[in-house]
A and B are shown apart, each in its own frame.
Chain A
Amino acid sequence: MMALAFVLSPLLILALGALLLMLAEALTPKQNRAAGLALGATIVFVAGFAFSVGAWLYGVEDVAERELLAPWLVIDRFTIFFDGLFCLGGALAALLAGGYLREHGLERGEFYGLLIFSTIGGMMVAAAGDALMVFIGLETMSIGAYALTAFRRTSPRSAEGALKYFLLGSFAAAILLYGFALLYGATGHTDLVGIGNAIRAGGQHQTMILVALVLVLVGLVFKVSAVPFHMWAPDAYEGAPTPATTYMAAVVKCGAFAMLLRVLLTCFSDQGLMSWAAGWPPVLAWIAVLTMTVANLIAGQQESVKRMLAYSSIAHAGYLLVGVVATIHSMGTATASVLFYLLTYTVSTAGAFGALILCGRKGAEAVSYEDLAGIGRRHPAAALAFSLFLVSLAGIPPTAGFFGKWFIFRAAIDAGFYALTIIAFFNSVIAAYYYLRVLVFMYMREPAAGAPIATPMRSGYVATALVVSAILVIALGVVPSLPLDVAVEASEKTFAAPGG
């Protein structure tokens, strides 16, 4: 039993931590509550991360009690990898919230409780071995994210972003569920492995399975915010308080990809449905091309840096889908490239949103390119951090983003998708334009006469988050081998043998 508790510990620690934090919020006096809660949430996430590492080193393969949770929760290396990744993203979001909420007078303790519970939902999604658990985890994660988006109660933008996020998110969940219901009807199973085996065995319900596949794909693609199902993402990202945006861009997106990989590679991995001639890979390839191209073109036209980062996050979903399509050739290696990309993307995007937070003050949040004009000369540290994260998002060496793209492209080339790789490459060149435009404004422009001059806020929390992200971005860019080995192990032990 101890071994089971240990491999489940990241989830258990977060659950316990969230309950304790809510208790602490109710019992402490109001004036010194605020700062402590952000610290507490960060400690919970760091503990979750530490236990993920511990569970990884301990190994999950020999823990026989895992069977007790089957088929509801599957505790494997893939799950543990995502546990750690979510804790990292959650910790960065909690640190950013610690500075942001105080500066903008939004300090209410619920934020951290929602943040942690929503992350638990993400962990459930990554571990889900049954359609029911996928749904419960997804709802736990999404409901928390809806509430976080609406957190700024006096702002019409926050409410509007949350409304759009909520409506389209629930719509996507309903479509996904109808797909699962049809799969249940066709195969008699709700556990993903059972569905996969029944589909592989063939049967008389081929049409129903195909309809179900379409519905499930639409639901999944909605959740990873790929074009043409991306409409909610820019509005939700822009309307939400920036730490909530960070959380959505990092943790919720990684959770959606964990779900996509788990469902597609477990349920729909038979020869017929996972082939280039028929099935989901060509569909996802077209969606990837559309996503990258449309998102990058629209991102280039934005006036708001926050909205540009939202479109950039959509474009990154496109690159990630290229890696997902490449799983058709070698499931283990291509999945590893997706996992590694998710790691580099999490630290880069959390850092970029963090730097945007740092550049704003109460009543003068940095939003547009103009707001950032001249920051390079007056506040070199803030501008340097922002530049580093944007360079990483653009995929320029020696940063994390470069190796993320490198491994995805290599997986696509190995799978023989030359055209797809070339399109992805040209898209990252287009993307560099709008990332570097921020640098141009920061270092080469001066604010227009009379325009308010952005002054960075002072917060130990935000500074810590930025330093941690910056170290990770550089470390992943200089020595990517260790995290890559971890990603390879996480995917090969889980997905290497089709149908295993």
Chain B
Amino acid sequence: MIPVEHYVALSALLFTVGGVGFLVRRNVLVTLMSLEIMLNAVNLALVAFNRQATHVGAHTGQIFAFFIIAAEAAEVAVGLAIVISLFRIRRTVRSDEADLLKN
């Protein structure tokens, strides 16, 4: 069996990739993808931890992951609606071109 540490290392890597992607990319759609990668890293970590010896028989981590998937779908639905509404007005999906609000 692959030890839990490997999964956790992969999950940490994914989370970092997602986080860096979120911070450096300016296309909102790519930013949304980065967010998805971060949340999938969370799911992977939860499911991996669920396999640890002390948690045999309990499925909290796996159930948690399902809830994250469901809530995430709702969140992205609203997020994409906001992106579309911005695109209709400004004709852009780049976050650095949305710059009306500043002091």
A residues lining the B interface (CB < 8 Å):
131-132, 135-136, 139, 142-143, 146-147, 150, 153-157, 159-164, 166-167, 170-171, 173-175, 177-178, 181-182, 184-185, 188, 190, 234-235, 238-239, 298, 301-304, 307
Contact = CB atoms under 8 A, between A and B. Distances in A.
Nearest to B98: A160
A124 to B, nearest CB: 12
A170 B77 CA distance: 12
Interface range on chain B (Cβ under 8 Å from partner):
35 or more
Contact of B101 (A135, A147, A161): A161
A181 B49 contact: yes
Given A132-B67, A156-B100, A146 B85 contact: no
Given A178-B15, A178-B41, A163 B83 contact: yes
Contacts of A150: 81-82, 85
Contacts of A302: 103
A246 B62 CA distance: 38
Given A157-B101, A238-B101, A146 B82 contact: yes
A303 B75 contact: no
A482 B85 CA distance: 47
Nearest to A142: B75
Contact of B64 (A132, A139, A142, A160): A132
Majority secondary structure of chain A interface residues (helix, strand, loop or mixed): helix
B50 to A, nearest CB: 8
A48 B64 CA distance: 30
A162 B28 CA distance: 13
A139 B75 contact: yes
30 contacts: A135-B67, A139-B71, A150-B81, A155-B89, A156-B86, A156-B98, A160-B86, A160-B101, A162-B82, A163-B82, A163-B86, A163-B95, A164-B101, A167-B22, A167-B35, A167-B79, A171-B19, A171-B35, A173-B75, A174-B35, A174-B38, A177-B68, A178-B41, A184-B46, A184-B60, A184-B61, A185-B49, A190-B61, A235-B101, A239-B101
A234 B101 contact: yes
A166 B95 CA distance: 12
Contacts of A171: 19, 22, 35, 38
A235 B45 CA distance: 33
Interface in B50-68: 52, 54-55, 60-61, 63-64, 67-68
A135 B63 CA distance: 13
Contacts of B19: 171, 175
Contacts of A177: 39, 42, 68
